[in-house]
């Protein structure tokens, strides 16, 4: 009947209008939704409390880059990452959208391996990527480098020694200070024992410390840890010890 056809026609029109509105609303939602907050994670915060969540928020607010209250579709996560990576204590930053109209930010702090306190007055850390980094308010438990050291020597020869210590927890715990002589040779001050360990030129760490470990076990354990004032590992296949003066 005509009434039935009219009803079907009106129904189809209503369905069409509904679909147009639904598609428009669904397409518009992601762009019009507003960021309700951030989920901020700082890795290595227990070992290295160099940067806090408050510092990250302050940095973003100062740069007028805080995503909170901004339309989700207009937030540039790459720009947030690039800005955070410029911070001298941040190694990496990843920013992404999360459910609930929030922005996730994951930050990895730079990892110091040595602290330099050079005779020329310079002070800085060397990180695990062979770069210098400023000294923050909180200190890291790493060996201190003193003496005649410049940044080139620090980020090459000393960096290699620092990475050796990172890979060997025993020696990382034992070596407290690394003194660089004018001839660019290394003297080490250990945590246990009243002796100085003379490495000579910064090379052959595996061989030198293998000899030292054997000497610690078979030598110092027998005669006592305070018998010698100096233990030299400079020459291959031998250890030269200097007795303490009585």
Query: Quick check: 147 and 180 in contact, CB under 8 A?
Result: yes
Q: What parts of the chain have a pLDDT lower than 70?
A: 1-4, 8, 22-31, 45-47, 221-225, 246
Q: What is the pLDDT of residue 246?
A: 63
**Across the chain, which distance is largest between two alpha carbons, in Å?**
123
Q: What is the pLDDT of residue 152?
A: 95
Total-model pTM: 0.76
Alpha carbon distance 242, 34 (integer Å):
72
Question: In this predicted model, what pLDDT tens digit does every residue of 99-108 receive, in sequence order?
Answer: 889 999 999 9
Burial of 221 (0-12, 13-18, 19+ CB in 10 A): exposed
The candidate with the shortest Cα–Cα distance to 47, out of 221, 172, 226, is: 172
Q: What is the pLDDT of residue 17?
A: 81
Which strands sit side by side in the sheet containing 123-127, from one edge to the other? 132-133, 123-127, 112-118, 143-147, 175-180, 186-190, 196-200, 228-232, 240-243
The candidate with the shortest Cα–Cα distance to 165, out of 155, 176, 156, is: 176
Q: What is the pLDDT of residue 13?
A: 82
Query: Quick check: 243 and 227 in contact, CB under 8 A?
Result: yes
Helix locations, 33-155, DSSP H: 53-62, 77-85, 151-153
Q: What is the pLDDT of residue 14?
A: 83
Q: What is the pLDDT of residue 45?
A: 64
- Which sign, positive or negative, has the C-alpha torsion 93, 132, 210, 146? negative
Calculate the dihedral angle through the C-alpha atoms of 70, 72, 76, 82, rounding to the nearest 10 degrees. Answer: 80
């Amino acid at each position: 009947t005509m009434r039935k056809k009219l009803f079907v026609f009106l129904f189809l029109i209503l369905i069409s209008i509904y679909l147009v509105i639904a598609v428009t609303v669904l397409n518009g939602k992601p762009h019009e939704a507003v960021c309700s907050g951030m989920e901020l994670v700082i890795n290595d915060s227990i070992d290295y409390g160099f940067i806090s969540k408050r510092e990250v928020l302050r940095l973003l607010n100062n740069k007028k880059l805080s995503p909170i209250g901004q339309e989700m579709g207009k937030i540039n996560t790459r720009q947030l990452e690039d800005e955070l990576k410029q911070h001298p204590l941040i190694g990496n930053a990843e920013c992404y959208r999360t459910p609930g109209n929030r922005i996730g930010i994951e930050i990895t702090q730079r990892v110091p391996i040595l602290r330099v306190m050079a005779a020329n007055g310079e002070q800085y850390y060397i990180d695990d990527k062979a770069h210098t980094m400023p000294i923050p308010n909180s200190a890291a438990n790493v060996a201190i480098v003193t003496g005649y050291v410049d940044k080139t020597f620090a980020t090459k020869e000393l960096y290699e020694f620092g990475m050796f210590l990172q890979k060997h927890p025993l020696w990382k715990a034992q070596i407290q200070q690394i003194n660089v002589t004018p001839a660019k040779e290394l003297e080490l001050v250990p945590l246990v024992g009243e002796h100085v360990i003379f490495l000579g030129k910064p090379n052959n760490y595996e061989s030198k410390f293998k000899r030292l470990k054997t000497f610690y076990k078979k030598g110092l354990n027998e005669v006592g840890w305070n018998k010698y004032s100096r233990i030299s590992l400079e020459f291959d296949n031998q250890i030269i010890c200097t007795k303490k003066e009585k």
